[in-house]
Amino acid sequence: MTAKVIDFDVKGDDRGSLIALERGYNVPFDVKRVYYIFDTKEGVRRGAHAHRNLKQLAVCVKGSCRFLLDDGEQKRRVALDSPDKGLYLEGLIWREMYDFSPDCVLMVLADAFYDEKDYIREYDLFLQTVKKA
Q: Does 46 bind ligand TYD (CB under 6 A)?
A: yes
Write the CB contacts of 130 (distance below 8 Å, at least 6 apart in sequence): 71, 72, 73, 92
Query: Which residue's CB atom is positioned nearest to ligand TYD?
Result: 46
Q: Compute the distance between CA of residue 118 and CA of residue 133 in angstroms, rounded to an integer.
A: 15
**H or E element: which one contains 130?**
helix 123-132
What type of residue sits at position 26? N
Binding-site size for ligand TYD (CB under 6 A) equals 6
Which stretch, 2-10, 23-31, 42-50, 51-59, contacts ligand TYD (CB under 6 A)? 42-50
Q: Which residues are catalytic?
A: 49
Contact pick of 2, 11, 23, 35 for ligand TYD (by CB under 6 A): 35
Q: Does 68 bind ligand TYD (CB under 6 A)?
A: no
